[in-house]
Amino acid sequence: MKKSAQRIWGGRFSAGPAEAVKAFTESVSFDWRLYKHDIAGSIAHAKGLVKVGLLTGAEAAKIERGLRAIEREIESGKFKWDHDCEDVHMNIETALIRKIGAVGKKLHTGRSRNDQVATDIRLWLISKIRSGAHEIQNLQKALVALAEKECDTVIPGYTHLQRAQPVLLAHHLLAYVEMFSRDAERFADCAKRANLCPLGAGAIAGSTLKLDRAYVAKLLGFAGVTQNSMDAVSDRDFIVEFHAAAALTGAHLSRLAEDTILWSSTEFGFITIADAYTTGSSLMPQKKNPDIAELARGKTARLYGNLVQALTLIKSLPLTYNRDLQEDKAPLFKSADTLLSTLHIVAEMMRHIHVNHVKCEAAASDPMLLATDLVDFLVKKGMAFRDAHHAVGSLVSEAEQTHSSLPKVATKKYGPAAGKIFDVRRALTARTAIGAPSPKNVKAQIARWKKLLA
């Protein structure tokens, strides 16, 4: 084992770990992604040490210059990550000592890798939540734009994947805008709990050195500091919350993808996805496959799996830090990458959707969609709802058995006024309750969302 790596923690040991152990325990192959936040945390920590008299201003300045130089090397691709140094923290600290000498050895004063990594992950996660909020809003804007463009297009609404009642396509799209709004709120809520600084908690029990934790937290932009040193170094609830929010967002993306897949099929034919967001078949030349939507649906499985992995990881850990927690990062990074890329590509796909109005109009003209409106008509005439429901059910059966239309048998039974019920535009206009899909309501909701997302 290299001396530079051995010196970090090796005073207690007569020999370094076996090569197989080093390969098994290293995490720098994936936690290098924390480098920017690790460096930011180290600079703030150094300034905190100056404030309490454990470093001089000159020493802290030298440390910061060294860390900034390392950061530039990493970003330019010149930095050589050393697996012998185990993780991102030790790689940067070892490089710092090599670069500036003995002063670099003072940086870890009053700090453990336990509170250091907890701080890095929180900073990294908060930044990803901000990116996620942007991507969610980007998708919402794409859906609202399509809704505004298609605010007069009528389609069947479905329950049990069977035609149910007519709705405006815009109303259907805005349902997803509502879903993604709740997702954004969940991520924001997660960020609140992640926004506490663990630095100063040490390995488990703080430090006998008098550290100014609040000062360092402020430098790093945290809202405050953690209140229990044992919880601070072992808490990964905020990671589980992120996975849970990501999984639920994935569910919503999957549902949107499923509607897109169904609507683009020949059987529905409601929409056409732009060629740039589809693929072909290696065998069947006529095929145009909705692969982007299918992959968005499929990648949700990753998000679910990572949530279960995170929950399983922490479920039996005794307080406080255990090396098991090294395994929290890889799935977290994968979930963030999967979520952000999926949100982005789905938004782009939705911006390139063509609506086939003839197919939509034909499907929405099915008079069976207005059977419930006929029930309401009879209720207004004084009939009890259950009796009206039964009566209209009988008319539906009669229409099917006689190969007639529901408007025709309704007119025969209840007169011309009943036949006039089967006007889809009238039916939609009559749906004026809050949240219902009348054209007036939908246009108001489009205007509301445009304002909220501006």
How do 154-159 and 162-168 pair as beta strands?
antiparallel
Residue type, 223: A
DSSP 183-224: HHHHHHHHHHHH-EE-TT-TTTT--SS---HHHHHHHTT-SE
Q: How far, in Å, CA of 433 to CA of 305, rounded? A: 40
- Whether the Cβ atoms of residue 110 and residue 211 lie closer than 8 Å to each other: yes
- Whether the Cβ atoms of residue 233 and residue 320 lie closer than 8 Å to each other: yes
237 three-class SS: helix
Q: What residues act catalytically?
A: 160, 281
The encoded tokens of residue 62 equal: 């030298």
The encoded tokens of residue 196 equal: 């506490």
Instruction: Give the ranges where 52-157 is alpha helix by DSSP (H).
Output: 57-76, 88-100, 113-149
H-helix or E-strand spanning residue 354: strand 353-355
Q: How far, in Å, CA of 414 to CA of 421, rounded? A: 11
Orientation of helix 371-380 relative to helix 406-414, angle to 10° = 10
Q: How far, in Å, CA of 42 to CA of 90, rounded? A: 12
Task: Single out the residue of 38, 2, 39, 43 nearest to residue 22, CA to CA.
Answer: 2
How do 271-273 and 353-355 pair as beta strands?
antiparallel
Q: How far, in Å, CA of 321 to CA of 180, rounded? A: 35
Phi, psi values for residue 83, rounded to 5°: -65, -20
The encoded tokens of residue 350 equal: 């939705």
Q: How far, in Å, CA of 342 to CA of 352, rounded? A: 16
In Å, how far are 130, 144, 346 from 257, measured between CA atoms?
24, 16, 8
